[in-house]
Amino acid sequence: MRILFTGASSFTGAWFARALRARGGELVLACRGTPEGWSAVQRARLAMLGEGVEIHTGCAFGSPRFLALLQRRGPFDLLALHGAEVGDHRDPAFDPIAALAANTRALDAVLDRLLRGGRVALLVTGSLFEADEGQGERPLRAFNPYGLSKTLTWHAIRFAAESRGLTLGKFTLGNPFGPLEKPNLCSSLARAWLAGETPLLRQPDLVRDHAPVDLLAEAYARFALSLPARPGIRRLNPSCFAEPLVAFAERFAAAMRPRLGLPCRFRRCRRPEPAGEPRVRVNTDPLPALVPGWDFATSWDRLAHWYRGSLLDRARPAPALAR
């Protein structure tokens, strides 16, 4: 299957692209950035894909270079729209309308050009930050302006795809963690432990849905490769450790303690700070059922190995956690 994939330099994007390739997908990567602007971790993510992956840089979605790529390297069986405008997604000044415009630039031209090569399926990566995703406190509002931008992007793409009779899938992410991750709860805890600190969990009662990225990637690849044979709209909302943050932090500490050889302690805030977001938001489709027999121990081993290699030399006394 020939797949045009956007967003491969991101944390989950690199793992998803790797899983697609491992299952025989022929990947063409359209990267918005260029090598000169990539961070060390972005370079490491792309290097994880190995040789034989076709990478086109400076190729933002809907740009003239992107449209030319469709014509020059098509046809494709699947367009995997993983990339999106993110920036500081918790910044209240995030502009959702500008993000929508970037995420859907020349959308009609893109889809029309794709269709010249025959039938094609689309796969959009969603987020639990969006409105009307997962389950939890109602109404299921967007968490923040970034979540609003993802909500609007999904509806714009859905409208354009449905009007053309295209197969469309949506794979909605909760809170992924794993090697090459972006700053998150797990990396904050690990960095503090490696620095000999005992971090503070400020919002222990929030209920979120954490999942190992390698397990998510396997579920993503299976879902993606099934789409062309399954017309209509398909959605997958993978759930793994859907629990309060304090319970997940305890789970994470128990997994890391023997692997890092550290006490891996943390403190729970006695008076949790207001979160400014829903108290409960989790996904609905159990990952262990989607990928039966998954070896969780190997996922924990891989993550601890990465922490020791990437965080040990850079460990510093950690500030109190924001989550």
Asked if residues 49 and 21 have their Cβ atoms less than 8 Å apart, the reply is yes
pLDDT tier at 273 (50, 70, 90 boundaries)?
low
Tokens of 98: 């500008």
Cα 234 from Cα 142, distance rounded (Å) = 21
Q: Please report the pLDDT score of residue 201 as a whole number.
A: 95
Tokens of 123: 């796969």
Cα 221 from Cα 227, distance rounded (Å) = 10
Asked if residues 84 and 150 have their Cβ atoms less than 8 Å apart, the reply is yes
In degrees and rounded to multiples of 5, residue 105 shows phi and psi of -55, 130
The proportion of the chain whose per-residue pLDDT surpasses 70, expressed as a percent, equals 95
In degrees and rounded to multiples of 5, residue 172 shows phi and psi of -100, 125
- State yes or no: pLDDT of 72 exceeds 90: yes
User: Across the chain, how many H-helices and E-strands are there?
Assistant: 11, 16
SS3 204: coil
Task: Provide mean pLDDT across the span 4-23.
Answer: 97
Q: Please report the pLDDT score of residue 155 as a whole number.
A: 98
Any idea what DSSP says for residue 53? Answer: -
CA atoms within 13 A on the CB side of 177: 25
pLDDT tier at 311 (50, 70, 90 boundaries)?
low
* Per-domain boundaries in the chain: 2-176+211-239, 177-209+241-310
Contacts of 5 by beta carbon, 8 Å cutoff, 6+ apart: 13, 16, 17, 20, 27, 28, 29, 30, 80, 82
Residues forming a β-bridge with 49 = none
Tokens of 4: 């045009």
Asked if residues 151 and 217 have their Cβ atoms less than 8 Å apart, the reply is no
Q: Please report the pLDDT score of residue 91 as a whole number.
A: 79
Cα 70 from Cα 241, distance rounded (Å) = 39
Cα 189 from Cα 156, distance rounded (Å) = 38
Tokens of 192: 């503090």
- State yes or no: pLDDT of 77 exceeds 60: yes
Tokens of 3: 């797949």
Alpha helices in the chain, H assignment, sequence order: 11-22, 40-47, 64-73, 96-103, 107-115, 145-163, 185-194, 213-226, 245-260, 287-290, 296-310
Residue among 255, 228, 218 at smallest CA distance from 76:
228
Task: Provide mean pLDDT across the span 51-56.
Answer: 89
Q: Please report the pLDDT score of residue 315 as a whole number.
A: 40
Tokens of 318: 């950690």
- State yes or no: pLDDT of 259 exceeds 70: yes
Neighbour tally for 97: CB within 10 Å: 11
- State yes or no: pLDDT of 314 exceeds 50: no
Task: Provide mean pLDDT across the span 281-299.
Answer: 97
CATH superfamily entry for domain 2-176+211-239: NAD(P)-binding Rossmann-like Domain (3.40.50.720)
CATH fold of 177-209+241-310, please? UDP-galactose 4-epimerase; domain 1 (3.90.25)
- State yes or no: pLDDT of 3 exceeds 80: yes
Cα 10 from Cα 14, distance rounded (Å) = 6
Contacts of 301 by beta carbon, 8 Å cutoff, 6+ apart: 259
Cα 108 from Cα 104, distance rounded (Å) = 9
In degrees and rounded to multiples of 5, residue 86 shows phi and psi of -120, -60
pTM (2 d.p.): 0.94
Cα 227 from Cα 223, distance rounded (Å) = 7
